[in-house]
């Protein structure tokens, strides 16, 4: 991958990317969005149907849950940077494969380097596995992990709360903790 010197360059590269087979089924690639100098970067799994249609991350049901959790923590979407592990929608919203995550990893790495947030919030197991090689995030959520000079905060994926409403409270609690850490 060529060096990407700005978030706008990342956005342009993502929207024209054909580095893995997920490009074949997409309507739109979905680059990250938000404040390019944010103190908090949130990383999810992959775009869903609505995100694919609009080319924006977290604009469907999971996005509404995330927005509510952010608002409860005094955070606006425009004050954070939100992205995904892979930038194109997998068929039927399946979990991205290792090869797809690997193909897309350079964009996430570039976003992290360019935004240089105070803390990276990992939402769900796909991002956890990609960034830290972890799993079982419902057990690990609420923790902060320092790796390679970067602080990571672990929480559940907002989409998990669509089917398990108790996780909305968990996500809200975690966003409040995240906001306190980022302010420190
Ligand atoms: S998922 Fe990532 S690597 Fe694959 S085509 Fe989309 S932008 Fe490129």
Is 182's C-beta closer than 6 angstroms to any atom of ligand 1?
A: no
Place of tokens 């997998």: 90
Q: Is the whole model's pTM more than 0.85, yes or no?
A: yes
pLDDT > 70: what percent of the chain? 99
Q: Is the pLDDT of residue 151 over 70?
A: yes
Reported as a single tens digit per residue, the pLDDT across 1-55 is: 668 999 999 999 999 999 999 999 999 999 999 999 999 999 999 999 999 999 9
Ligand 1 atom closest to 20 (CA): 4
pLDDT at 3: 82
Q: Is the pLDDT of residue 146 over 90?
A: yes
Is 86's C-beta closer than 6 angstroms to any atom of ligand 1?
A: yes
DSSP 37: T
Q: What is the largest CA-CA distance in the chain?
A: 43
1 within a domain of the structure (yes/no): no
If one residue of 22, 32, 52, 57 were mutated to test the ligand 1 pocket, choosing by the most ligand atoms within 8 A of its CB, it would be 22
2 within a domain of the structure (yes/no): no
Is 10's C-beta closer than 6 angstroms to any atom of ligand 1?
A: no
168 within a domain of the structure (yes/no): yes
136 within a domain of the structure (yes/no): yes
The arrangement of strands across the sheet holding 33-34 comes to 33-34, 81-84, 40-44, 119-123, 150-155, 144-147
pLDDT at 43: 98
Reported as a single tens digit per residue, the pLDDT across 106-137 is: 999 999 999 999 999 999 999 999 999 999 99
The CATH number of the domain holding residue 139 is 3.40.470.10
Handedness of CA 152, 158, 161, 165 (dihedral sign): positive
101 within a domain of the structure (yes/no): yes
- Tell me how far the alpha carbon of residue 136 lies from the centroid of ligand 1, in angstroms: 25
75 within a domain of the structure (yes/no): yes
Q: Is the pLDDT of residue 184 over 90?
A: no
Give 105 or 1, the one with higher predicted confidence.
105
Average pLDDT, the chain: 97
Is 14's C-beta closer than 6 angstroms to any atom of ligand 1?
A: yes
Q: Nearest residue CA, atom 4 of ligand 1?
A: 20
Question: Structural domain tally of the chain?
Answer: 1
Is 101's C-beta closer than 6 angstroms to any atom of ligand 1?
A: no
84 within a domain of the structure (yes/no): yes
Q: Is 126 helix (H, G, I), strand (E, B) or coil?
A: helix
Ligand 1 atom closest to 46 (CA): 1
pLDDT at 1: 66
157 within a domain of the structure (yes/no): yes
Domain region containing 145? 7-183
Ligand 1 atom closest to 18 (CA): 5
Is 46's C-beta closer than 6 angstroms to any atom of ligand 1?
A: no
């Amino acid at each position: 991958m060529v060096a990407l010197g700005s978030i706008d360059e990342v956005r342009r590269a993502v929207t024209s990317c054909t580095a893995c087979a997920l490009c074949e089924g997409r309507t739109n690639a979905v680059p990250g969005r938000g404040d390019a100098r944010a103190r908090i970067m949130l990383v999810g799994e992959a775009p869903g149907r609505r995100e694919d249609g609009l080319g924006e991350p977290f604009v469907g049901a999971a996005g509404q849950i995330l927005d509510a959790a952010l608002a409860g923590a005094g955070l606006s979407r425009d004050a954070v940077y939100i992205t995904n592990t892979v930038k194109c929608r997998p068929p039927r919203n399946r979990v991205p494969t290792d090869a797809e995550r690997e193909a897309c990893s350079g964009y996430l790495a570039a976003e992290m380097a360019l935004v240089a947030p105070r803390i990276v919030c990992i939402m769900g197991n796909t991002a956890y596995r990609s960034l830290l090689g972890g799993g079982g995030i419902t057990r690990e959520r609420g923790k902060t992990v320092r790796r390679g000079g970067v602080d990571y905060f672990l929480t559940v994926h907002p989409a998990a709360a669509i089917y398990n409403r108790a996780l909305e409270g968990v996500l809200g609690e975690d966003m409040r903790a995240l906001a306190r850490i980022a302010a420190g």
